[in-house]
């Protein structure tokens, strides 16, 4: 039974975060190339939540081309050249037929769609055609993301019909969450829990509870991941989100500030903006 109390040891969390940042091993994500600090020799990608196992140098030895392509994709994303980055995913998938790449590409479509939306100016005078173009592109990208997620989900279902593995079950659950199919995601978590891996099951429960707005339970799962053994830096992100949702803004702000320093990714920036907005009202 999960405890629903929200006793947050903020100082303890910050200590572990700083320890992970300074002394932790950095693991690379095989589908998005993000490097995430961890203390446990395993972890979850801070960008796409894929399970991580390898360091960059080990992957360079075993698959240099993959590392180079993922680096190139990230350089394209940084330059807001989403079209080129998406095209590179097409090439990667064509070469390897790795289903998880479809999931990573879907997330990139969502990001590109948000980028197109951000280019719409409602006060634009005389440039409404350009707004319509960005709106149309944004919609197209969201449809493409849904198609990719459905395709990947279908492929994982097929694969699970042949053999049950925890990574495939977890990936299917991630996809079901992105598609907001919470009933299916919950069933996947039940099946995942039978695999006997407490770490990945607890992580899956955390993101499920957070997605359905049960922040007391997402916090309890997150708290269990902010420990040196079985650590995930994303636990700090979800704990911060839960604290913010419970209006504990001072604690949330302290955590997000350190998290932002350790991980320079957009999730933290968005969370900080939300906290500052809530503080101002």
Interaction site with Zn ion (CB under 5 A): 29, 32, 34, 45, 47-48, 50
CB of 28 to Zn ion, least distance (A): 9
CB of 60 to Zn ion, least distance (A): 17
Q: Which is nearer to Zn ion, 215 or 237 (CB)?
A: 237
CB of 107 to Zn ion, least distance (A): 8
Phi, psi torsion values for 150, nearest 5 degrees: -65, -40
CB of 153 to Zn ion, least distance (A): 18
Q: Which is nearer to Zn ion, 171 or 255 (CB)?
A: 171
Q: Which is nearer to Zn ion, 31 or 242 (CB)?
A: 31
Enter the tokens of residue 266: 């957009």
Q: Which is nearer to Zn ion, 203 or 215 (CB)?
A: 203
Q: Which neighbouring-strand residues pair with 55?
A: 27
* DSSP collapsed to 3 states, the chain: CCCCCCCCCHHHHHHHHHHHHHHCEEEECCCCCCEEEECCCCEECCCCCCEECEEHHHHHHHCHHHHHHHHHHHHHHHCCCHHHHHHHHHHHHHHHCCHHHHHHHHHHHHHHHHHHHHCCCCCCCCCHHHHHHHHHHHHHHHHHHHHHHHHHHHHHHHHHHHCCCHHHHHHHHHHHHHCCCHHHHHHHHHHHHCCCCHHHHHHHHHHHHHHCCCHHHHHHHHHHHCCCCCCCHHHHHHHHHHHHHCCCHHHHHHHHHHHHHHCCCHHHHHHHHHHHHHHHC
Q: Can you tell me the distance from the alpha carbon of 187 to that of 243, in angstroms, rounded to the nearest whole number?
A: 27
Q: Which is nearer to Zn ion, 90 or 130 (CB)?
A: 90
CB of 45 to Zn ion, least distance (A): 3
Tokens 């944004």 identify what position?
Answer: 138
Q: Which is nearer to Zn ion, 45 or 220 (CB)?
A: 45
Q: Which is nearer to Zn ion, 17 or 70 (CB)?
A: 70
Phi, psi torsion values for 62, nearest 5 degrees: -85, -30
CB of 29 to Zn ion, least distance (A): 3
Do residues 106 and 148 make contact, with C-beta atoms less than 8 angstroms apart? yes
CB of 52 to Zn ion, least distance (A): 8
CB of 8 to Zn ion, least distance (A): 27
Q: Which is nearer to Zn ion, 204 or 252 (CB)?
A: 204
């Amino acid at each position: 039974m999960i405890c629903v109390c929200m006793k947050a040891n903020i100082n303890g969390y910050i200590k572990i975060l700083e320890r992970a940042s300074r002394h932790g091993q950095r693991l690379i994500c095989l589908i998005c190339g993000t490097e995430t600090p961890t203390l446990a020799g395993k972890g979850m990608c801070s960008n796409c939540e894929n399970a991580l196992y390898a360091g960059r140098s080990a992957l360079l030895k075993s698959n240099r081309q993959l590392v180079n392509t993922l680096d190139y994709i990230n350089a394209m994303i940084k330059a807001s050249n989403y079209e080129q980055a998406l095209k590179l995913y097409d090439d990667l998938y064509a070469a390897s037929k790795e289903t998880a790449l479809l999931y990573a590409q879907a997330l990139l479509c969502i990001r590109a769609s948000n980028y197109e939306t951000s280019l719409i100016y409602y006060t634009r005078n005389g440039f409404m055609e350009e707004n319509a173009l960005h709106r149309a592109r944004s919609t197209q990208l969201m449809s493409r993301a849904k198609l990719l997620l459905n395709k990947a989900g279908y492929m994982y279902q097929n694969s699970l019909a042949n053999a049950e593995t925890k990574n495939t079950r977890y990936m299917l659950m991630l996809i079901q969450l992105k598609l907001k199919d919470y009933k299916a995601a919950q069933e996947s978590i039940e099946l995942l829990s039978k695999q006997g891996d407490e770490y990945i099951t607890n992580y899956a429960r955390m993101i499920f509870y957070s997605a359905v707005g049960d922040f007391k339970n997402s916090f309890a799962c997150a708290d269990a991941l902010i420990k040196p053994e079985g650590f995930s830096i994303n636990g700090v992100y979800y704990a911060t989100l839960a604290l913010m949702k419970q209006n504990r803004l001072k604690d949330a702000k302290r955590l997000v500030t350190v998290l932002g320093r350790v991980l320079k990714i957009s999730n933290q920036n968005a969370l900080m903006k939300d906290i500052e907005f809530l503080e101002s009202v």
